[in-house]
Amino acid sequence: MKTANRLAEEAGRADRAVFQRADAMQLPFEDASFDAVMALESIIHMPDRETVLTEVARVLRPGGRLVLTDVFERAPRKVPRHPSIDKFCRNFMVTLADVDGYVAMLHRSGLRLRGLLDITEHTQQRTFQELSRPVEGTDRPEALGQTNLPDLLQPSDMLGVDEFGCLLVAAVRP
């Protein structure tokens, strides 16, 4: 957070952008205090999506917008499901959304759906393809050298696992 706030200050945007850490299930903000909320690759780690969405609805002003990404099990669902999905979920503390109940969950949370789009081919599969490429030396991003990703999951294990998907969700507080 310190770096993000310092960079905002250096860019002359400290009056418009403040970065802080918070519990998404108990947001420390006043009711109706935001015009927009983004939750990219974060709600997947929450133990209760509906609680998070209810908090988001609380802090959004009427007409405020939410954009998020979420992971889900795409149809046709296989039984048993691909073991790499379970390994991914277990090792990265991820839960899969119930896409069939997403609209109802948004409504119960006080939000209204504006769009729900399966973006799997542009996100999940592309990410796993890139992470599976052998990269050595100076071409290897520094961040990859600092991760224990191979111990948690071989990205190639997720290639072609079509039932593991990613959603782009847009909603509004009425």
Q: Which residues are catalytic?
A: 41
For residue 127, give the amino acid letter. Answer: T
Indicate the helix (H) or strand (E) that contains 7: helix 2-10
DSSP state of 102: H
Task: Quickly tell me which residue has 């939410």 as its tokens.
Answer: 66
Query: Residue 5: how many CA atoms within 13 Å on its side-chain side?
Result: 6
Coil vs helix vs strand at 18? coil
The token pair that represents 138 in the structure block: 């100076």
DSSP state of 97: B
Indicate the helix (H) or strand (E) that contains 151: helix 149-152
- Backbone φ and ψ of 83, nearest 5°: -60, -25
* Start-end of H helices in 92-123: 102-109
